[in-house]
Amino acid sequence: MSRYQRGHIYEAFGAFHVRFYQTELRGRQLTRVQKSHRLCAKDRKHYSAKSKPVQLLCDDFMRRVNTATVTEQDMTVAQFWEKYYLPYCEEIVKLTGERRKKPSTIRGYKQIWKQHLEAHFGKLTLQEYEPHLGTRFLQSLTGTQAKNTLKHVRACASSLFKRAVNEQRIKTNPWHGVQMPDDAIESSQTQHYTLEETENIISALADHVDCQLVMALSCLLGLRPGEIAALRWEDFDPESVNIRRSVVRGIVGTPKTPESIAPLPLIDQVRVPLELWRRKSENTKNSWVFPSRNDTPVDLHNLIARVIKPHVEGKSECERCHKVPKKSGVEWKTLYAGRRGACTAVIEATGGNYAVAQALLRHKSMKTTLDVYKKQITPQSFKEGMKLLEEAATKR
């Protein structure tokens, strides 16, 4: 909170003025600047800076200044979100040339704000908001939202108030101590593709080798959709693909985490569609592997909706073939299901070597690999595992 100001009265140009300070936003930074305001002309009634009429005019004006300053500092949460927090997240950092927050993070925060937080905060100000309100709000969501959504809501709200603390608008972050409700419902199990389903999908896309490559990179190497769309031909060498960037809604930036920037070994099931697509591509030097008509990274959402999904489901017309393809026999589970399938497949293929899966997905923590991406093993793998146990027990 700003300190109370009395103002300094001075005489200039045949009038009395008051000098004071205000905090203004300049270049995303709050700056304290000196201001001046004319109180009145010098006359018989207002004859000196210390005269009572001049002092009363000064007191009345400074009362409005101090009230306005308090209002400026203690703005509503919604005003802070719109005027300060979002611009801060989207600001380009000169050192890196990128936004402060990842485009995917900004997109997620905007969605959470619109769906949950905007109505919750209402007209409450930053200083009016208390921790118990956040706890009560999360509890109210347990009937309609799963645990993962609650975590995202908490993360967004906490980040917003943390910024308010850094700008010295409030002293403590009210969401810092907000705990997850004990009865929060666990999120439903995410889906993945088995190796057999991956093979069937790639076979169904035989007439579209670029789509085969997209699915192979996802289902066999575990690339994220944004990493696939942002690949350039120079990222490939004879033995590996080097993950260097990602694209979210047309904005090219760095991958999700520092650990995500890494080379991944190529396998034959990826090399084949890669080389076939290389031969069909017009420009394979210093260009996107999957270019749009405007020579920008392809919009995978459109490619999936217009070509890949019709060939997987066999329900709608492929915009390239101009016909409804045959069903592949596989349920479409989103492109991200390929990344989860790659994790599960490599763990099964290596006899439970979780470190290989962690390296493939480029996670900093193995806990993320196991808790989020590792899916239940196939019945056949379970039988083979029990067979190994039987053989080991027999030898004893």
Q: Say what the pLDDT of residue 25 is.
A: 52
Highest mean pLDDT among 34-38, 379-383, 384-388: 34-38
User: pLDDT confidence of 396, banded at 50, 70, 90?
Assistant: low
Cβ neighbourhood burial of 344 (10 Å; 0-12, 13-18, 19+)? buried
The pTM assigned to this predicted structure is 0.67
Question: Model confidence over 271-281: pLDDT tens digits?
Answer: 999 999 999 99
Side chain identity, residue 37? H
The pLDDT tens digits for 175-189 are: 998 999 999 998 777
Angle (CA) 104-229-266 rounded to 5° is: 120
What's the pLDDT at 275?
A: 96
Please list the alpha-helical segments (H only) found in 179-299: 195-204, 209-219, 225-229, 268-280
Q: What is the pLDDT of residue 28?
A: 42
pLDDT at 223 over 70: yes
* Residue predicted with more confidence, 354 or 241: 241
Share of the chain above pLDDT 70, in %: 91
Residue-wise pLDDT tens digits, 228-238: 999 999 999 99
pLDDT digits (tens, 9 = 90+) for 110-154: 999 999 999 999 989 998 899 999 999 999 999 999 999 999 999
pLDDT value of residue 259:
93
Please give the mean pLDDT across all residues of the chain: 89
The pLDDT, as a whole number, for residue 4 is 77
Task: Report the run of H or E that residue 389 belongs to, with start and end.
Answer: helix 379-395
Q: For residue 266, what are the contacts with CB-CB under 8 A and spacing of at least 6?
A: 221, 236, 239, 240, 241, 274
What average pLDDT score do residues 376-393 get?
Answer: 70
| b/e per residue 71-97 (b: at least 16 CB within 10 A) | ebbebbbbebbeebbbebbeeeeeeee
- More confident: 253 or 309: 309
DSSP state of 302: H
Domains and CATH numbers, the chain: 8-67 (no CATH), 77-176 (1.10.150.130), 195-343 (1.10.443)
Burial of 235 (0-12, 13-18, 19+ CB in 10 A): middle
E strand or H helix at 30, and its extent?
A: strand 29-41
Model confidence at 248, pLDDT cuts 50, 70, 90, reads confident
Query: Residue 282 carries which side chain, given as an amino acid letter?
Result: E
